[in-house]
Amino acid sequence: MAALLPADHFLIMTVYALLVSGFFALLWRERSRERWKLFGVLLASLLLGGLAAAWIMYPFPS
């Protein structure tokens, strides 16, 4: 099966964060406004958390 996305780390991480955030926003909240709010919080947490983890690990292995 051909790759549906280019092998770009940030792009793959962002799509993953979008899918997971959307899933849990739909699962855990009933109202539209609350869903969007949770979606934003989860998306920001996943993206910023991923970038923070990458920044911390940047010197390794060296």
Partner 1 sequence: MSPAEGRDARRALTAAAMAWVFPGLGHFYLGRRRTAGAFAAIVTLCFALGLSFEGRLYSIESGQPLTMLATFAVYGTGLLNLTARILSGNPGGTVLAPTYEYGCAYLLTAGLMNLLLMLDAWDIASGRKS
Say if residues 18 and 28 touch (Cβ distance below 8 Å).
Answer: no
CA distance 51 to 30: 30
Instruction: Report the Cα 27 to chain-centroid distance in Å.
Output: 16
Cβ 23 to partner 1, closest distance in Å? 5
Residues that bind partner 1 (CB under 8 A): 1-5, 7, 12, 15-16, 19-20, 22-23, 26-27, 30
Nearer Cβ to partner 1, position 9 or 58?
9
**CB of residue 55 to partner 1, shortest distance in Å:** 20
Residue type, 33: R
